[in-house]
């Protein structure tokens, strides 16, 4: 499983509209950049109270990257 697919599974599991979740992966000099786009109505669930869900998503993605030796991961979460 790729990190992009893993991010989709994580975010889709907490969204009310999982079909509208989009995850893009980019390579940069600093490492991998993941852009996660969710519906504006789902943004509250993805961020969570005091940003706890977003922090947990970032932690899980960094753990995945560490286990698979992918290097540094930067995660951007936004809505459309």
Is pLDDT above 90 for 58?
yes
CATH fold of 3-79, please?
Answer: GMP Synthetase; Chain A, domain 3 (3.30.300)
Q: What does the DSSP 8-state code read for residue 13?
A: T
Check residue 30 and give its pLDDT: 87
58 with 64: CB under 8 angstroms?
Answer: no
Q: Rounded mean pLDDT of 53-68?
A: 97
Is pLDDT above 90 for 76?
yes
> What Å distances lie between residue 54 and 14, 29, 45, CA to CA?
11, 24, 9
Both tokens of residue 52?
Answer: 């706890």
Check residue 17 and give its pLDDT: 95
Per residue in 4-56, pLDDT (tens digit) is 999 999 999 999 999 999 999 999 998 999 999 999 999 999 999 999 999 99
């Amino acid at each position: 499983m790729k990190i992009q697919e893993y991010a989709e599974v994580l975010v889709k599991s907490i969204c009310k509209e999982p079909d509208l979740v989009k995850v893009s992966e980019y390579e940069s000099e600093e490492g991998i950049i993941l852009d996660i786009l969710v519906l504006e109505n789902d943004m509250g669930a993805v961020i969570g109270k005091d940003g706890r869900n977003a922090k947990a998503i970032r932690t899980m993605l960094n753990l995945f990257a560490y286990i698979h030796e992918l290097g540094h991961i930067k995660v951007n979460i936004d809505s459309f």
